[in-house]
């Protein structure tokens, strides 16, 4: 079972690389963030033609999340107990598999900058609600993958220059502590279960030659419940997409579950 997540940074602008990825990598489930369109504007037909079921939680111009699945899915739109959030940042699906149900969420966590504004307060409130919901999912004792753009740099080894990011909302101690709180519930971060290597990034800014200099950060994550972690076989960052035509500033990261 191949589960991938990708902040596509406008699905209509990245439709060609997206459909190429679906054809070539063929994930069983792909979680998308920043689709940047309302549900009715999502390029559903082009993706359904490739054999995918499509569920979206869109928003005009900003944000928006989606789940694409080779098998039928049932979804919940919006983070439970945070439903009145006007920003489309969470969609959760139960995916039918040959080995039973798998629960997958596509998450676009708030950026939170500048950190001395209500934007950071909103980020922490979202994280608190996500932590509470993630805890409730563990009680189901089923395979769960919480996938997405967390806008969290977990450790100094996940950023090219820790000092340059010291005051950023993505790297503040309180942000990292909230992320660790998620892990402490019993979730496993898929990449760190497979390697301790540093310099593995999923985002490079469009500015100042960040990609060419490999000045990246790792903010896209796959968090696995114990039942999913027991099935983990491998994790891959599809870095080459950043060098392609019309790239997103993020690249996909995917895991293989037995």
Active site residues: 108, 149, 250
250 is in an annotated binding site: yes
For residue 132 the two structure tokens come to 């509470």
113 is in an annotated binding site: no
84 is in an annotated binding site: no
Provide the sign of the torsion angle of the four alpha carbons 205, 207, 211, 213, taken in this order. negative
142 is in an annotated binding site: no
Mark out the alpha helices in 64-172 (DSSP H runs): 118-138
35 Ramachandran zone, left/alpha/beta (phi>0; psi -120 to 50): alpha
Contacts of 185 (CB under 8 A, 6+ apart): 131, 134, 135, 138
7 is in an annotated binding site: yes
83 is in an annotated binding site: no
Task: With CA atoms as reference, report the closest residue to 76 among 24, 136, 124, 121.
Answer: 136
Binding residues for Mg(2+): 7, 34, 149, 151, 249-250
Positions at the binding site? 7, 34, 149, 151, 249-250
């Amino acid at each position: 079972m191949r589960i991938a997540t990708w902040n596509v940074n406008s699905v209509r602008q990245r439709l060609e690389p997206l459909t190429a990825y679906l054809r070539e990598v063929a994930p069983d489930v792909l979680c998308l963030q920043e689709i940047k369109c309302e549900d009715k504007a999502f390029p559903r037909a082009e993706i359904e033609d490739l054999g995918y079921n499509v569920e979206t939680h869109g928003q005009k111009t900003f944000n928006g999340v989606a789940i694409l699945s080779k098998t039928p899915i049932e979804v919940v739109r919006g983070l439970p107990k945070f439903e009145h959030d006007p920003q489309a940042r969470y969609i959760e699906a139960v995916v039918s598999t040959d080995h039973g149900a798998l629960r997958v969420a596509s998450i676009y966590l708030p950026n939170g900058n500048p950190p001395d504004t209500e934007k950071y307060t909103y980020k922490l409130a979202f994280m608190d609600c996500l932590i509470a919901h993630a805890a409730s999912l563990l009680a189901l004792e089923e395979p769960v993958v919480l996938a997405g753009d967390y806008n969290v740099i977990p450790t100094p080894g996940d950023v090219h220059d820790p000092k340059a990011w010291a005051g950023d909302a993505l790297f503040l101690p309180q942000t990292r502590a909230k992320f660790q709180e998620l892990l402490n519930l019993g979730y496993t971060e898929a990449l760190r279960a497979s390697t301790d290597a540093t310099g593995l990034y999923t985002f490079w800014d469009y500015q100042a030659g960040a990609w060419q200099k490999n000045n990246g950060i790792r903010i896209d994550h796959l968090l696995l419940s114990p039942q999913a972690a027991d099935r983990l076989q491998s994790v891959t960052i599809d870095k080459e997409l950043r060098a392609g035509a019309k790239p997103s500033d993020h690249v996909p990261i995917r895991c293989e579950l037995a």
